[in-house]
Structures are given as structure tokens and as C-alpha cells.
Amino acid sequence: MLAIFPVIYISAFLVALKFLIEKKRQGFLIFLIFGLCIYNTVLSITFSLGFTSLIGLFKSLKELIVLLLLGIQIYWNKKTFRFQTVDYVVGFYLIYTVIYALLPIGVQPLSDRIASLKNIAFFPLLYLCGRLFDFRSFQLHKYYNYILYVTIAASVLVLYEFVTYQHFQTMTGYADYQYYFYDAEATGRYGLTFTFETDEGLKRFASFFASPLELAGSTLLSLAIIASISTTDENKIKLTNFGIVTLAATQICIFLAISRSSFISYFLMIYVYALVTKKRVITNLIYSLAVCGVLYFLFLLRNKEIQDFIISTINFSNPSSVGHIIGWIEGINSIISHPFGIGMGTSGILAGNTGENTGGENEFIIIGVQAGIIAGLAYLATYFIIIKTAWQKFPSLKGKERKLCLMVLLIKIGLLIPLFTSELEISSYISYLTWFFSGLFISVIASKSSSEKRVEKIKFTQTV
């Protein structure tokens, strides 16, 4: 039965490849949506079934489909590329990190430096893929719905995990896969890793995603999509039955994943949504959600483990919070001592697998430790430029352009807190999709800017 996951994965790739061959470039999203959400589950199951030789192939498919699309787009592109500020920043970041990885900086061999480079600098290629799309023919609502289908499916499985109180990963061969490929022995109370439990022993579930953190992060993307498709050009809410079901699915996932950073971001996104839409009904919704949150919090307090979890989180006494702080301090000290970095592969998950990790627990610090403060600031700048642009342009946009803008604005803000507490770019599902849609949004802005300039030029000519 579990073999269905590798079948879905390879089928999604073949469907996406077929679309590319037929010059239907949007089809590559089929693989990003339906393939990458189960990526780690597929690798674990493939290994447990004895097809170890296929692991390398399956790993490479996600980069291959992106490179194929990018090559096709560059070859087919006939429009003049009008650079925006964020284009320069993303381009600088990519070139800077690639050169940095190729130079003999640090103690890691070239292969490890390249592998680490892929973790922190593959996203510019996804951004460029989105940037080269013509948004006018893009079927935004269709692919939004596909992402929401994934969330509903994830909520069904995570509910099964909760009812049976058994991690799905105990069935997929997750622990054996991690030990075989990364020499990572099972840790914690449940034979997986510590990320699947709280410090008090409460189980955290991940559905078919790689970890509870990735499941929680994916719900933020879905929440942003629900907000965008349910908001009219007049900022009125039109929540369909499908939207209600999906919203409930995001709440199930966010609560059972028990990710503190994503949980805070979930409600931060709702607050930002209220600010940007400027509607009283949204404010009332926030108050209602706040009341529900307080009631749910009081309900959870009946559980002694939840009480200990919340108290230890607030006073930073639990090992997870202490681990974050230690990682931040260690990473910041390294950046201060070596502002130009200590080399690729010295921070993050790959460094952790070799036991030579410096810093960590923060995407910005991980980048700064490896490639220096310049790279870290460039990465941070891309986020704030996109957020600023989306905030400024939202009131003037209409239709699907407005829906894309709102989604990008909310998800970029929503991911900020998780970025400060984890290495989020290693989640290919979240990273690939959010950066693709970011590039697509900037493509819209560039196109509108060009149109406005043409109109102004025509008016000036007529006046003269």
C-alpha cells in the first residue's frame, strides 16, 4: 500500500515532463505540488522496499525539472526583460554564493560546498522560473486549488496519526533511511528524531511531509492561498464550502504539528490580512479567532504535558528553546569573528550530519556563517523588498493579479518567524513554491510598470 507514494511521485514528474514537452510550461507545477510534498516519504519508502539504487535518481528529479523549465524559458523567451530592484538583489546573491562555493574557502571539500550551496542558493532559479512566465495566461486558481487539495489530504492523514497516536513515519522506514544515508541514529522516545516530539514527550505529527515543521510551514502557504481566493477586489470575504473545509484542514495540521513558530505566524498572517484589507468584518473575525484561541488554550491546559510545554516555552527553559538560543549565539559570534564567512558546508543540516555544525537554528545565521554577512543581508533584503512591493501594490491591483499579490505578501510575512528558528530552505515543497510565486508576482509588477510607462509616453506625445 505504501508503494503508492513512489508511484505518485514518479507519475507527477512524468506528467510535468509531458507538459513541458508540449510547451505547456505551467504543468511543471504538478510535480512541485504533488511530488515535493511527499519527497522525503518517497525516499524512505523506496529504501524500505529495497530499491536503494533509485534514491539518487529520485533526489535529482526536483532539480532536473527546474533546470529543464528554466532552460526552455530562456530559449523561448522573446520579451524584453525589465529588471526590478529585487532582480538585482537575487542575481547578486546567486552569483556571490556560487563564486564563494567554488573558491577554496573553509575546510569542506568541493562536493560538500556544492551540496550546501544547493540548500541555500537554489531558490534564485525558482524565482527566475516564475519571473519569466507571462502571467496573463497563467491558470492561477487551478494551481492554488491543487495546493489546497494537498492540505486536505495531509489533514486526513494527520488526523489518522492523532487518533491512532502513531507516527506515519514509523511505517515508512524513516529511521532506517536516516541511519543508512546520514548515519543519524534514532533519537527521542518514539524511534524517530526529536523533531517528532515536544520536550515533554507529546507527539508532533508530520502527515506525509518530512517533519512536523514542514507540515506546519505548508499550512501557512495554504492559509495565504485561502485568504487570497476568498477576497474580492472590494475586500469582501466570499468563503466557499471548499474554502471552509480547507481552512479547517489548516487548523488541524497547525495544531497537531505543534510548531510554535508556525502557530504564531498563522495568527500573524490573519492580523496582517486584517490590516491590508481594512475591513471591519476582518477585525471581528480576528476577535472571534482570538476568543476561540483562548478557549482552546484553556482546554489544552487540562493536559499536564501541554501545561509544561507552554510554561517551558515562555521561560525559555526547555531544551528546544535553549538549543535555538545557543545556536543563534554561536552563529552570531562566528559572523562577528568572520564577517566574510567560514566556508560553505560549515552550518546547517549538512554540517550537522558531520558533527561540525557552527550556529544553525536560523536561516539567516546559517547563510551568514557560511558565506558571510553580505550574503545574509542580501537574502534578508529579498524578503523585505518583496514584502514592501506587495504591500504597496496591493491596493491598485485587480483580479488574479491581486490574488497573487495578497498570497505572496502573506506567505512572505508568515515565513519570517520560521526562518528565524529553522533552516526552512531545505524544505523543497515550501521553498520551491513560495519562490516561484514570488518571481511570478515580480513579473506582474514589471509588466504593469512597463505598461504604465507606455501610457505616460503616449499621453506626453499627444500633449506635445
Q: Which residue has the cell 554577512?
A: 373
Q: How confident is the model at residue 177, as a pLDDT?
A: 94
3-state secondary structure of 25: helix
Q: Is the Cβ–Cβ distance between 227 and 273 less than 8 Å?
A: yes
How much is the mean pLDDT over the chain?
88
Asked whether the predicted pLDDT for residue 310 surpasses 70, the reply is no
Give the mean model confidence (pLDDT) for residues 269-276: 91
C-alpha cell at 336: 562577528
Q: Is the pLDDT of residue 316 over 60?
A: no
Q: Under a CB-based contact definition with an 8 Å cutoff, are residues 446 and 84 in contact?
A: yes
What residue segments make up the domains of the chain, in order of their start? 1-78, 81-137+317-464, 139-315
* Sign of the CA dihedral running 150, 65, 113, 50: positive
Taking only the tens place, the pLDDT of each residue in 362-372 is: 899 999 999 99
Residue 111 and residue 116: Cα distance in Å, rounded? Answer: 9
Q: How far apart are CA 155 and CA 420, in angstroms?
A: 26
What per-residue confidence (pLDDT) applies to 322? Answer: 61
Q: How confident is the model at residue 227 (pLDDT cuts 50, 70, 90)?
A: very high
With pLDDT > 90 as the criterion, what percentage of the chain qualifies?
Answer: 66
The pLDDT of residue 461 is 52
Q: Which range among 5-19, 171-185, 205-219 shows the weakest confidence by mean pLDDT?
A: 171-185
pLDDT band at 460 (very low <50, low <70, confident <90, very high): very low
Secondary element (H or E) of residue 113: helix 110-121
Contacts of 398 (CB under 8 A, 6+ apart): 233
pLDDT digits (tens, 9 = 90+) for 437-452: 999 999 999 988 755 5
Residue 227 and residue 425: Cα distance in Å, rounded? Answer: 24
The model's pLDDT over 161-209, given as tens digits with 9 standing for 90+, comes to 999 999 999 999 999 999 988 888 888 888 898 889 987 788 999 999 9
- Cα separation values, 228 from 71, 249, 399, 401, Å: 31, 17, 10, 10
Residue scoring higher pLDDT (237 or 439) = 439
Residue 70 pLDDT > 90, yes or no?
yes
Q: pTM of this prediction?
A: 0.91
Q: Which long-range contacts (CB under 8 A, 24 or more apart) does 21-29 make?
A: 23/72, 23/76, 25/69, 25/72, 25/73, 25/133, 26/133, 26/138, 26/139, 26/143, 28/65, 28/66, 28/68, 28/69, 28/129, 29/143, 29/146, 29/436
Q: Taking 90 as the threshold, does the pLDDT of residue 82 lie above it?
A: no
pLDDT at 384 over 90: yes
**Cβ neighbours around 238 below 10 Å, total:** 9
Q: What is the mean pLDDT of residues 24-48?
A: 96
Integer CA distances (angstroms), 31 to 53, 99, 138, 314, in order: 21, 30, 17, 40
Q: What is the pLDDT of residue 448?
A: 80
Q: Are 184 and 193 in contact (CB under 8 A)?
A: yes
User: Which among 389, 430, 436, 37 is positioned nearest to 223, based on CA atoms?
Assistant: 430
Residue 221, pLDDT score: 97
Q: How confident is the model at residue 341 (pLDDT cuts 50, 70, 90)?
A: very high
**pLDDT above 70 (res 435):** yes
**3-state SS record for 238-297:** CCCHHHHHHHHHHHHHHHHHCCHHHHHHHHHHHHHHHHHHCCHHHHHHHHHHHHHHHHHH
Segment 256-279 mean pLDDT: 90
Distance CA 88, CA 186 (A): 43
